[in-house]
Structure 1
Amino acid sequence: MDHVFLAQGPVPVMVERFLGSWFRRWPELRCASGEDDSDGVFSPWAPGLEGASADTGSLLIARDEEMEANWDRSGYVLDERDEGPLALHYVPAGWQSLPMVPQKDPYGHVGFRYEPYDITVVGAGLYLFTLITPDDSAFTRAAVDTLLLSFSSTALRR
């Protein structure tokens, strides 16, 4: 499943926070560059190791060597622990503004029927993040929630 997010902030900080959260869950966390021209070699990740050094990149994320090995055979599937591999891709938004139609009321009104209408997102320093996960599950929802927390403004303060 692809989950696409629009976020603002320093990419290295957001990626570090995301990986740090997963490291607490997966102490044997392993990462590899997901870039097409990379060698795709996984290595252990630890807090403080640079996860993202550029504004554009891709990371493949596995719990341990076993998940890494099974990824090639099985792809994005949940294992016997109901966990699966993740991939995170990020690029700067290549536009100054983006027209869209929100599916929910952007003002959060309660008690009124919402009729979707056009809005335009405008901002500087915006990035598109794509989180690839196994099918919808509690694990996938935890990965999405963790990434969203990594984007929050309070999470960006060091």
Structure 2
Amino acid sequence: MDLTGHATDYLVDATFPEAMSRFVDHGRRRWPDAHVNGRPLPPQPARPWHLPEPEGDGYPDIVTFSSGQEMEDFWEENGYALDAAGEGPYAVFHRLHPTVQDGSPQAKEETALPPAGHYTVSLVTPDDPSTDPFSQTVVTDFEASLGDAGARLRTR
């Protein structure tokens, strides 16, 4: 499968897990039968959704979103793409950056690391949000979920 989708990158403070809970609620309102990480969300949660524990394998963790099993199947064939209804799956890739101790070799060699306890996040939408209304809605919901906790990273 060819790589598809459009990434919008962010640097988010330690409140990222709470922001993701709010973002999942946006997805639930968008799609009553929403699937997160390939599984249906309960319609009315007894408690807030929680970000899964990091896998710790050195790769970014991912949270995926779709409207239901039909879109999950569409995703397998088409990747991040818009369906006939003008909607598509999207995902949040994230990585927590650990504390770097002053004076450590890593601190001296890698001065471009984000501040300790911050997350680097990529929101991958089906299309470019500057030209696609659905993708723009997803970005708007994500940024509303972040509040003041995140900043969009500039890309070259």
- Which whole-Å CA distance do the structure 1 matches of 2:123 and 2:148 have between them? 19
Q: Aligned-pair distance for 1:12?
A: 2.4
SS in 1 for 2:82: coil
- Which whole-Å CA distance do the structure 2 matches of 1:130 and 1:14 have between them? 14
SS in 2 for 1:152: helix
In 1, are the aligned partners of 2:8 and 2:124 still within 8 Å (CA)?
yes
Once the two structures are superposed, residues 19-68 of structure 1 have per-residue CA deviations (whole angstroms, 9 ceiling, x without a partner) of: 10110111101022xxxxxxxxx211134353413356211211111111
- Which whole-Å CA distance do the structure 2 matches of 1:73 and 1:53 have between them? 26
> Structure 1: where are the runs of 5+ without partners?
33-41, 100-121
Match of residue 78, structure 1, among 69, 75, 82: 82
1:20-99 correspondence runs (5 A)? 20-32=25-37, 42-46=38-42, 47=45, 48=47, 50-54=49-53, 57-93=61-97, 98=112
- For the aligned residue pairs, the C-alpha RMSD in angstroms reads 2.3
> Comparing 43-52 with 57-66, which one deviates more in the overlay?
43-52
Greater RCO structure (CA 8 Å; 6+ sep): 2
Which residue type is aligned with residue 147 of structure 2? S
- Which structure is higher in strand share? 1
Which residue type is aligned with residue 39 of structure 2? S
* TM-score normalised by the chain length of structure 2: 0.69
Using the aligned pairs only, state the percent identity: 27
In 2, are the aligned partners of 1:12 and 1:53 still within 8 Å (CA)?
no
In 2, are the aligned partners of 1:11 and 1:54 still within 8 Å (CA)?
no
Q: Which runs of 4+ in 1 moved over 3 A?
A: 46-51, 93-99
- Which whole-Å CA distance do the structure 2 matches of 1:9 and 1:153 have between them? 12
> Comparing 21-30 with 43-52, which one deviates more in the overlay?
43-52
Match of 1:140 in 2: 135
Residue 127 in 1 paired to residue 152 in 2? no
In 2, are the aligned partners of 1:90 and 1:129 still within 8 Å (CA)?
yes
Change (3 A) 1:84 1:51: farther
> Structure 2: where are the runs of 5+ without partners?
1-5, 55-59, 101-106, 150-156
Residue 9 in 1 paired to residue 14 in 2? yes
* TM-score normalised by the chain length of structure 1: 0.68
